[in-house]
Amino acid sequence: MHISLRRFAVLLTAGILLSCAVAPAQKDRPRAGLDAIGEPRDFHRGETVRYALWHDQHGWHLRTTTREKKHGFKGTIEVEGGTLERVHSFRLEKEGRLADHWKLGPQHRRVTFDFETDGGIDGINFRVSKEAKSLRFNLHIDGKHERERIYIGQGGQHPRNDPFTLPAHPVIRPK
């Protein structure tokens, strides 16, 4: 029994030393998570109720769509460590029963939006300053968080939670 304990101690020590040697290398690797690069493949006008969110060489894009029925999309996007730049509308109705709007907050660190989407596509495009570290999204559909209706990046991944945070400057890989 004394030999078993000795072997256990040797294996434990070796495991600890190995994990210490590997830890710095893992720190330098990008963390596994949501890949926001590229428009979601399955996002088209008139799809089921959903958000699409992606980043490309032109910046960030947030879109909403519905199939036939009107739905309300409200939310906020907050930038940490920088500012929002060049925020502009994408196919928003400016008047009537589906009037859509967004508002940039003080110091350009937050944008709040309120869209009524009915079978079309509504959205905003924006860039963030070079200093920006991350973006925090808080998205609602008809007043509820519905993470499974949020499609991120080309793969159409869903966040684990809503609100959720993404890197402000995802790495765009060359083709």
pLDDT in tens, 52-74: 999 999 999 999 999 878 999 99
* Cα gap 150→164, rounded to integer Å: 11
DSSP states along 32-56: SS---BS--TT--TT-SSEEEEEEE
Q: Return the domain boundaries, the chain.
A: 1-30, 50-167
**CATH 2.60.40 for the 50-167 domain, yes or no:** yes
If you average pLDDT over residues 151-159, what whole number do you get?
95
- Over residues 75-130, the pLDDT tens digits come to 999 999 999 999 888 877 666 555 688 899 989 999 999 998 888 889 999 999 99
In whole angstroms, give the CA distance from residue 60 to residue 37: 9
- Six-digit token string for 53: 């969110």
